[in-house]
Chains A and B, each alone.
Chain A
Amino acid sequence: MATKRIEIVQDILNVNDQIAEQTSSDLHMHKIFSMNIMASPGAGKTSLIMRTLETLSPEIRCAVLEGDTAPVTIDAEKISGIGIPAIQINTGGDCHLNANLVRKGIQALDLDNLDLIIVENVGNLICPASWKLGTDINVVIASIPEGDDKPYKYPNIYRGIQALVLNKIDLKPYVDFNVPYFKAGITALNPQVEFFEVSSKTGEGIDTWVSWLKEKITHLS
């Protein structure tokens, strides 16, 4: 019996990343822009997605992939309820979406008739950060009641994002949330990030956020 050392140097998430690249290239072939939305549970991902869809649709043809850890269809039903195609992806207990799950979800959509795919990741500020999905942009939604210390406690999620949407700003009068402190944390982790303040409930700030997104979408097509 002989012992042999084999040098490899392979990224462990190589398989995931290759699938993500394939998804990205397929979507670009169809001129579809894609966005991965990450947040903690309850930050308002689905509400903000619905506000965004209401503003973009029908001019921009949208679809949503809804990631959840449990076999529920609550969010997909909400989106379908406003006439937007939605696919529910259940991770079977896993705490994040991966490129393979997203790819399967995308294959269930009519890609010839879409301009935008929004992927709503599993509510979690840790695990989704490590898994590329092949989307054009990654966005984190934070919210006032979560507290202003999140960039300091969960730094990884903020590093690979292009935009940060601070939601529920209508609650500012009732919660001690120090916006400059929060922003400083984000800037230190990711100086290029675009920062938006919105309230999905009142609609404040939604137009600015959607205009930015729309520019990204039209830039692709």
Chain B
Amino acid sequence: MHELSVTEEILSAAQKIAEEEHALKITNIYLEIGKLSGIVDESVSFYWNELRKSTICEDATLHFSMVPARIKCRDCKNEYILEHDLIPCPSCSSLNIQIIGGEEFILKSIEIEK
């Protein structure tokens, strides 16, 4: 349910940019979601369909690109992509690992009409 708050943040960020750019409307919003971010794109879309009504984002479509979970092994320095949770380093089996990507949730760009 935290996606509701997150979606409100997307709307608020997009509105701010639209104002700065003197946009007539926002048509597309491009987002990047990390696999480990804990944010579910379908839930964001669900809330978006309600929140965008009667705003400058009324006709804006959300586009998501998923960012994989990137892990670095602190012992053997191997870097790998985590397909599922809880996997030790595939090269040395160590659990001394660190997340180096996949936790982000980023507003990448927006398209406006002006």
Contact = CB atoms under 8 A, between A and B. Distances in A.
B85 to A, nearest CB: 5
Contacts of B88: 188
A1 B22 CA distance: 12
Interface in A1-42: 1-16
B109 A8 contact: yes
A8 B2 contact: no
A196 interface: no
Contacts of B112: 3-4, 6
A95 B1 contact: yes
B28 to A, nearest CB: 8
B111 A5 contact: yes
B16 to A, nearest CB: 10
Contacts of A10: 13, 106-107
B67 interface: no
Contact of A7 (B27, B96, B104, B108): B108
Contacts of A98: 5
B106 A9 contact: yes
B81 interface: no
A140 B108 CA distance: 32
A6 B2 contact: no
Contacts of B13: 8, 10, 12, 14-15
A185 interface: yes
Given A126-B2, A155-B86, A185-B86, A3 B113 contact: yes
Contacts of A90: none
Contacts of B105: 11-13, 130
A98 B6 CA distance: 11
A129 B103 CA distance: 11
B10 interface: yes
A152 interface: yes
A152 B84 CA distance: 10
B92 interface: no
8 contacts: A8-B13, A9-B108, A11-B105, A12-B10, A12-B106, A16-B9, A95-B1, A155-B85
Given A3-B112, A7-B109, A11-B104, 19 more contacts: A1-B24, A2-B114, A5-B111, A6-B17, A6-B21, A6-B109, A8-B109, A10-B13, A11-B105, A13-B6, A15-B12, A94-B1, A95-B2, A130-B2, A130-B105, A131-B2, A151-B86, A155-B86, A156-B36
